[in-house]
Chains A and B, each alone.
Chain A
């Protein structure tokens, strides 16, 4: 038996023993919280996916020996083409040409790639597996496709594998009796990258020296050889003049410069407009729910007239009544807010795993990071609690001003 009375226990008893009215109030708060949270969550997810999409657009140009020309198909937003890796060819050039490209005006990133060999290994994939060397430090086309960011920069003996290669992260893969650790795995690119193993250039050169890796029919690979240089240009710059400048920096008929035939800007602008729209919708809903909350608060207070009159007759001062009404409202707002955020989070997780979210949004939805999610939940809670406080101001004031005897007479006698 509890032999003490406190304001908390009084408020909690009131909430616990009158579930009907409190559920209605908490539900309204939950609705608002869910709305605010979902809005932010959708914005963050969509923007995250656009940002990822941009980073996965691959190279703007590929500079390769004149012998080949290639574009690889990728699955960026709108299924456009992204240059993630070069084609597996044996036409090579020396990496001393890279500086020339890097110095061209408008170029902001260059990264070399080397095709080593194609192996058949049923334990890795039912399809032939390409082995590629790349430079993890300058790379800007492969690593954006990582499902999970690497814990540490890729080091010697570590590889990144395409989506269809078998093997868990941190497990070993065998390539021609050499063992490598899988450090990362790519999302599906719907390109040959899905069946490729990417390793650092040093590892690639050593592997290439191993007997039987590079077919005898193919020219030997020596240190410094690369197949292509992937080029990224200043965003927003017109690619054509830059491509022309790169071509002119080489002697005629030595390299081919292949450009990407699309830009992302129009799509991303569409999606960048989304946050504003969602914010407006959130605002409208909050504004529309506000009178509802205020109405419920007023109704609850009316229903509690007798109770308030009684505790006034026991000597409760006006400010006590005022605080009681406010605190109770804040409490319900907090409970409703937490419930609303939790419910939307669960709904999003379900929708996301079932893929409904992606198809409904028409953009790939990227689940925001835990910290960001916590921040958004915090904002939703804060807004809901603020609304709870503000909406209960008037009822709190009128209750505290009510004449105790009238309040009691208002109901049963």
Chain B
């Protein structure tokens, strides 16, 4: 995987505002298939930096390379048609239906009708707007959030290798935004596009980005992976910007798998109750996880349960909800531990087999690094 997009000392000075550099010697390299989130306070030059990539804004000096080619050498129209573009203020074409909006660039590229129709339907499906209901509507018949989703679908229409997205989920409610972000990451995992993603929300930047590019007054403050930005903020500005809770934010990035304590003491539910008691005294564990013959979680046993009379473990075990798959974030894990006041959380794999436990101590250890 080579470098797909690189900024080389790019500077932008707007005519009429010569004393400020809207973008000041910005340089960074983006690998093929990475999402780079541009983040920073309002007016820091995020949109400006992004729009220089498809030459909507001409740069003052420096150069931008896409796939090793200097964009100044390319034909503007061809360059732009090869880059998906989602703008901050949505900008759907009000005179065209949703279907026509999405199909406009494919049409200009001369795709055949069937292919266009199929593509439009897939895209509407991705952004969670049923095609048969929305395809013939006009933008004005949609809510702001729905329009923004159409904007995203339109940007992806020709499946471009490079995409520019300016706050694509800005007008969408938290639930749908979360859904779209996850959906987008899922697609991205498959399609591996190189994306410049502008946002002012640091949480979104951290969630979506393979690289986070933090700008301030047109200057690059830090360009790093989200993990690194949280653990090693370059200066006080970054520290402030990512927030006092940056340690907690890292919990979002890490999965439970990273802090798992493997091979917990378990007991088959077909065993005698007495056996369970023996194991507990031997290991000194206060709780014992019960599993079925496949190793799947069925419940747990504590000292209280042992006092109950019953032949087998199955008869005395208690039900539990304190489990999560190992792909969940540490934040969810911690939240689960706190909300049920647990000592530990049971961690399962995809097929619900018990693979370990999660203790707060281990989380602390991970965060300390």
User: Is the A/B pair a real complex?
Assistant: no
Interface residues of B (CB under 8 A from A): none
